[in-house]
A and B are shown apart, each in its own frame.
Chain A
Amino acid sequence: MMNFVFVLMIAAGAAAFVISGDGAGALGAMTAGCAKAVELIFSLAGAYIFWMGIMKIAERAGLVKKLARSMEKPLSRLMPGAERAAGPVTLNLAANFFGLGNAATPFGVAAMRELSDGTGRATDNMAMFIALNASAVELLPTAVIAIRTACGSAAPYSVAIPTFIASIASAAAAVVSCRLLARVVR
């Protein structure tokens, strides 16, 4: 998929350059893109490393586990009959909540294993888990904040509250659409 997107972007852009008769501009743009990526990584690294450090403290202080435990009851309502998966599911969502993507993925895979019925067909609970993951409910959107800081925002954190509200709306939509679609899609 990304293969196709990448080729399309470069080829279409290059064609536009050729049509406008600016071959030198094309080469300049290509290398400038890479240079911008390197610059971006450097400029957001400080804020990103800081937040990863802070979130690790939250994990060590047991906050991820605490949050996971408090989510178990409401989640068991969303995923009936998935008691064995409750642990990894809640730990995955809690780790994601603290922006600990590295920690979240293994829990996510373990959760999918517990939710699977071994038929190669997604269960209702698997779809619910995936859809909940897609709504990206997070305490702080650290990568976005890092980029806003790098771009010279006067208030890089001003997006935290609206982002959280949008994520909650998205999670609600995930639950409703999963419930409705599960009846239709076999």
Chain B
Amino acid sequence: MRAAELAIPCGIAALMVYALFKKVNVYKAFIEGAKEALPELLGILPPLCAMMTGIEVMRASGLMEALCRALSPVTGALGMESELMPLIILRPFSGSAALGLLRETLETCGPDSPVGMAASIIVGSTETVFYTTAVYFGAVGVTKTRHAIPAALIAGAVGTAAGLLLAKLPWGG
């Protein structure tokens, strides 16, 4: 399965030619997009520092491992690796924590290992549900959120389960 690898360069080339045909200043658009990435990267740095400090303290003190071991009967029954549990728990709360834990998992287990693939797919196919709902409902002053959060969490759980299953298939890693 090298489909993604072939599709991406072809897609980028096609997009650029199409944009040129549509009279877009492709160069300028790229620069503007790149410029917009900078404040985003800078903005994520402080929360990432906080979360990765927390993660590193938990990891280096041996607490993370103890936690994973304590959760291993549960994760084992679900047929998943215990290393993924902290990531799955923190994912709906914090995007920075998810990115920090993803890095940690990829570093320790390898980015192309089954655990690394599962962690990557899960982070990519889920959202920071609590953050998004707080922003969107807060903006319109809704306090009775009814079934919005449960439904969003169910969607996240299904995305996570699908990610765990799909990671077991060979994707050409």
Whether A161 contacts B3 by the Cβ 8 Å rule is yes
Whether B124 contacts A163 by the Cβ 8 Å rule is yes
* 11 further contact pairs, Cβ within 8 A, besides A16-B63, A29-B56, A54-B30: A1-B130, A2-B93, A5-B90, A6-B54, A48-B40, A56-B30, A152-B111, A153-B111, A161-B171, A162-B117, A170-B156
Whether A25 contacts B53 by the Cβ 8 Å rule is no
Whether A61 contacts B22 by the Cβ 8 Å rule is yes
Report the minimum CB–CB distance from B159 to chain A (whole Å): 3
Whether A57 contacts B30 by the Cβ 8 Å rule is yes
Q: List chain A residues, Cβ under 8 A from B32.
A: 53, 56
Q: Chain A: residues with CB nearer than 8 A to chain B?
A: 1-2, 5-6, 9-10, 12-14, 16-17, 20, 22, 25-26, 28-30, 32-34, 36-38, 40-41, 45, 48-50, 52-63, 101-102, 105, 108-109, 112-113, 116, 120-122, 126-136, 138, 140-141, 143-144, 147-148, 150-167, 169-174, 177-178, 181-182, 184-186
Q: List chain A residues, Cβ under 8 A from B144.
A: 120-122
Given contacts A2-B93, A13-B58, A173-B158, contact A122 B37 (CB under 8 A): no
Instruction: Specify the chain A residue showing the minimal Cβ separation from B153.
Output: A134
Whether A134 contacts B132 by the Cβ 8 Å rule is yes
Q: Does residue B129 face the partner (Cβ distance < 8 Å to A)?
A: yes
The interface on chain B, measured as residues whose beta carbon lies within 8 A of the other chain's beta carbons, has a size of 103
Whether A157 contacts B4 by the Cβ 8 Å rule is yes
Q: List chain A residues, Cβ under 8 A from B99.
A: 40, 143, 147
Report the minimum CB–CB distance from A71 to chain B (whole Å): 17
Q: Does residue B74 face the partner (Cβ distance < 8 Å to A)?
A: no
Cα A152 to Cα B51 with chains together (Å): 22
Chain A, interface SS category: helix
Report the minimum CB–CB distance from A139 to chain B (whole Å): 9
Cα A161 to Cα B90 with chains together (Å): 24
Q: Which listed residue, B103, B124, B139, touches A109 by the CB 8 Å rule?
A: B139
Given contacts A53-B37, A134-B129, contact A29 B61 (CB under 8 A): yes
Q: Which listed residue, A10, A25, A32, A127, touches B54 by the CB 8 Å rule?
A: A10
Cα A1 to Cα B155 with chains together (Å): 21
Q: Does residue B85 face the partner (Cβ distance < 8 Å to A)?
A: no
Most buried by B among A52, A159, A171: A159
Cα A57 to Cα B3 with chains together (Å): 23
Interface string of B122-146 (1 = CB under 8 A from A): 1111110110110111011111111
Cα A130 to Cα B51 with chains together (Å): 25
The 5 closest A-B pairs by CB, nearest first: A56-B33, A141-B124, A9-B54, A170-B159, A33-B56
